[in-house]
Structure 1
Amino acid sequence: MPKIALFQMTSGIDPEANCAAIEQAARAAAGEGAAMLFTPEMSLLLDRNRARGAGHIVSQAQSPFVPRLAALATETGVTIALGSMAVALDNGKNANRSMVFAPGAAEPVTYDKIHMFDVDLASGESWRESNAYEPGREVVTLDDTPVGRLGLAVCYDLRFPALFGALGDRACDCLTVPAAFTRPTGAAHWHVMLRARAIEAQAFVIAAAQVGHHADGRETYGHSLVVDPWGEVLLDMGGEAAGLGYCDIDLARISEVRAQVPALANRREIAKS
């Protein structure tokens, strides 16, 4: 029964400080016997001022933090699921990229966020992620992680069931949904959607989140969660403070739920009209 750690962060506009916090968290998680550490979306840089943030965004190959996190995974023996970081692409845009660093691996496995957060909220907040970010196009899963087969998603992806249907078709044991949800949308939808995705995929959902007041002026919802395949919330880190939370993942629970309600086995293709 692997133990996992979730690092609920209040990431700011200084990547060095954010990376140092992740390093401290990974070492602490290793000391508590965690096999895997999950961090939120945009762990290394959360800056709504794109002109200011642009100076910190480089390609994955040029980033000093990628080899640093790879070395950290090897040093601690903890697999690090970096929720995401911004990386520069050749077309002038960026990717919102998740990275999973396994101990001893030279390069991370990556996933680029597919769905762009382009919305105008009733609170007056307006977001246009697609102005700066290129959407990903590939569904990504990893075998042989400490939590079995792991499916990757990021934040706004949560609202698109087709992605999670594809991950369910791949029989993932766990799904990770790192996020930086706003307070209004988080309060309305975060818990119910994460529980729904766990029930639909009959898998654990692990969602490390940003929390609190950030240096760029935004506020995020927090409530990093772990949900089991039956939809039960095993861990809720609340909406006030950054820090580490721990949860044991009983992988035997997956087969119990799938035997009780064989929804994945009974799924049928629906013809499009």
Structure 2
Amino acid sequence: MSYPPSSPPSKTAALSRFRRAGACAGVLLASATALLSAGAAPAVAAPAEQGPVTAVVQPRSQARVTAAVLGLGGAGREPVLYGQDALYDTASIVKVDILAALLLQAQDEGRRLTARERALAEPMIRTSDNEATNVLWRKIGRAPGLEAANRRLGLTSTKGGPGGKWGLTQTTASDQIRLLRAVFGPAGTSKAHASPLNAESRAYIQSLMSRVAKDQAWGVSAASDTEGALKNGWLRRTTSGLWDVNSIGRITVDGRPCLVAVLSDGSASMRDGVSLVERAARQAVEAAARR
């Protein structure tokens, strides 16, 4: 599924502050009230040109957002948090986790992915193909298989979605940083943060996340001058009509690699959710730079 979001705002010069060596160390708990109040008001659809005039009102926004930032300049650091580290639906960002689980299972069997598995993994990450994801979700053993892999990857708060509903997997921003560290962490990482994914598996995930479709290259990349490597997720909840919009990935800020995860829900539209995620990514990176 794809969606053409509005063009991201220009990058701020404040990102240069990220060069400080301890920029991403420690934990920052900050209120997201100001960020949410800056969001767009719910839109009202224009009436049809003919026939009865009936205003269709979008659901009222109940948006919340959490961002986490971790610099890759040193081992053993904890992410800077912007907002509460609460649980959110993953939507399609879980596809990175599914691929990591698939690769771990293949490693355990002493093999590489088959041609068929690779033919499914590539569209799952690059174009967010849901049918390919359905197949690989079943292949890894659905939620139990995902959770078994996550215990090895260091995720502590992520619970797989029920049945075939992988998009309803629940996670936190901190857990998504743990996943990203397992994928992007540099060689020589401390034993406590060593990835169970081998170098070939990590390089494969990185390659796919670096080549997502152009119409999906939004989100955490708004906090960087380069496109980076990312995976986004979006899901409209049928019960409320509100949107889950998420983005995770590795970006470069002032020449330094940085992992960023932004999770949100409750936006009145996907466009509002994308704007919220991108603002949160920029503000979280700037907050990390002030530490």
TM-score (norm 1): 0.30
Specify which structure has the bigger relative contact order, considering alpha-carbon pairs within 8 angstroms and separated by 6 or more residues. 2
Q: Which has the higher strand share?
A: 1
Q: Which has the higher helix share?
A: 2
Give the greater-gyration-radius structure (CA). Answer: 2
